[in-house]
Amino acid sequence: MKTRNLLIALTCIVLFILAGIFYFNSWVVQKPFAVILITGDAVNTSSLAAARIYDGGTDKRLALESLPHVGLLRLISNEFSVPDAAAASSALATGQRVNQNALSADSNGKPLITLLELATKAGRRTGLVTNASIVDPALAAHYAYATDGSDYSAIAAQIPDLNTVDLLLGGGEKFFLPIDKGGVRTDSQDLILSLRQKKWTVVRTKAELAGVPTWLASRTIGVFSRDDLAGRRQLESGGEEPSLEEMVRSAISILQSNPKGYFLVVDAGLIERNARANNGEGYLSEVLALDNAVSVARRYAGDSALIVVAGRQSPGGLRMNGYPFRQDQGAAVLGVNVRGVPSLTWSTGPNGPINRSLTSEAFSDPGLEGEAPLAPSARAAIEPATYFTPEALNTVDDPLIFSDGPGTDVLTGYLEPATVFLAIKNQL
């Protein structure tokens, strides 16, 4: 009798557990463990097609193309139909339009709620990765608040006290150091020292990043270069700096130790740098770096991850011209084609015919602190721009957005940033 009662009790317990598992899997909404937002310029049809052909010919397929949901983004600022990097990134970070050059702050300078804050409140670990400078507005809009997104030194000063970031990787060391230590800060602050004093783990090389324990609970910052990091083509020939895909892989490895999951923002910042300078091969190579980051994210974050890849701006208006053969790739689709037509052309930029009436001041870039003046590009003959500007201007393009994972079925068609923000917010 006792044995029978015991078996009945055990059977009831097992059935109860199985019913609970069935209920949880069938009716309880489970949020994804990994939520990843990847951003970059040139996420448009002409640039992606050119990058695909350059990488492997017409039949090549990008990792982006494996994401099932595709839409168009309407990114504008409060004042302009074409946003700058700060306003475009702020729209993605907050779901709201802001003034040109503002970082996640409304017209009165009041901070707006970001996805990073929401992820932190949900108990997720958070990370930000870029192959440009950490304080570049494209990335800074996700963690900093400012009405002037070009004040890089002030943005850097916000980082030591951040409580919404667990991992931050990129370049821009000069904005953390005073002039007497090789930096550009005029306030004598050594922010690298401040970071260490506030218990941040600071890494400076690819090897040090690889050595960060995955169980480390302290905040970690990697500053791997004085300026932007080396480009994809430079790193392929050797280098001590991590590539964008290596940083994404390390970030996932570090952040996934949190049982409540993580939120990771990745920005392919070097696309813009090459576009501004009318460097077509560098531009296409960095579009491929973004695509490699997507591939790594899909491989290491798992099939159930939420991944959103959002375009931001389209500087320069690059076009690939002519009729390349299906198998043409690499150098075969650069330079001048068999018809004598440049394979790559730009709308605006330093490769355009120079207006000799412009003063020397017109060649300086006011957005880059301490940089040398731009000079006319030697590539102008084989990669011309229609109209000369010291750096390429943004074009009026609606960027593409690709996505996969829970809740992304709404990210198709013509989208406002608020829709993208809510789709990600609902899964945090």
Write the class of the CATH domain 34-318+396-425: alpha beta
Evaluate whether 351 touches 379 at the Cβ level (below 8 Å): yes
Query: Which residues does 166 contact at the CB level (< 8 Å), separation at least 6?
Result: 125, 126, 127, 219, 220, 255
262-268 β-sheet, strand order: 201-203, 220-223, 167-171, 125-133, 262-268, 34-40, 306-311, 400-404, 69-73, 413-415
Query: Which residues does 363 contact at the CB level (< 8 Å), separation at least 6?
Result: 373, 374, 375, 390
State the pLDDT confidence band at 368, using cuts at 50, 70 and 90: very low
pLDDT for res 21: 54
pLDDT for res 335: 87
Q: What is the pLDDT of residues 137-178, one digit of tens each?
A: 999 999 999 999 999 999 999 999 999 999 999 999 999 999
CA dist., res. 129 & res. 152, Å (int): 17
Least trusted range by pLDDT, from 69-73, 84-88, 263-267, 380-384 = 380-384
pLDDT for res 369: 37
Evaluate whether 73 touches 347 at the Cβ level (below 8 Å): no
Q: Is 201 helix (H, G, I), strand (E, B) or coil?
A: strand
Evaluate whether 327 touches 337 at the Cβ level (below 8 Å): no
pLDDT for res 237: 55
- Higher-pLDDT residue of 218 and 132 is 132
Evaluate whether 130 touches 227 at the Cβ level (below 8 Å): no
State the pLDDT confidence band at 423, using cuts at 50, 70 and 90: very high
Least trusted range by pLDDT, from 17-21, 197-201, 304-308 = 17-21
Q: Is the pLDDT of residue 378 over 80?
A: no
Task: Kindly report the average pLDDT of the chain as a whole number.
Answer: 88
pLDDT for res 4: 64
pTM greater than 0.85 (yes/no): yes
CA dist., res. 426 & res. 118, Å (int): 10
pLDDT for res 359: 42
Evaluate whether 376 touches 354 at the Cβ level (below 8 Å): yes
**Strand 400-404 to strand 69-73: parallel, antiparallel, or no bridges (unpaired)?**
antiparallel
State the pLDDT confidence band at 231, using cuts at 50, 70 and 90: confident
Q: What percentage of the chain exceeds 90 in pLDDT?
A: 75
pLDDT for res 371: 37
pLDDT for res 25: 47
State the pLDDT confidence band at 357, using cuts at 50, 70 and 90: very low
Q: What is the pLDDT of residues 88-146, one digit of tens each?
A: 999 999 999 999 999 999 999 999 999 999 999 999 999 999 999 999 999 999 999 99
pLDDT for res 339: 79
| Distance in Å from the first CA to the final CA of the chain | 51
Evaluate whether 273 touches 135 at the Cβ level (below 8 Å): no
Average pLDDT over every residue of 326-347: 88
Query: Which residues does 338 contact at the CB level (< 8 Å), separation at least 6?
Result: none
pLDDT for res 30: 83
Alpha-carbon distances of 350 from 275, 284, 312, 390, rounded to whole Å: 10, 18, 22, 5
Residue 25's DSSP bridge partners are none
Least trusted range by pLDDT, from 14-18, 63-67, 147-151, 261-265 = 14-18
Q: What percentage of the chain exceeds 70 in pLDDT?
A: 86
Evaluate whether 83 touches 94 at the Cβ level (below 8 Å): no
Q: Is the pLDDT of residue 372 over 50?
A: no
Average pLDDT over every residue of 18-25: 52
pLDDT for res 14: 65
pLDDT for res 337: 78
Q: Is the pLDDT of residue 416 over 90?
A: yes
Q: One-letter amino acid identity for 52?
A: R
Least trusted range by pLDDT, from 17-26, 240-249, 365-374 = 365-374
pLDDT for res 380: 76
Q: One-letter amino acid identity for 281?
A: E
Where in the chain are the domains?
34-318+396-425
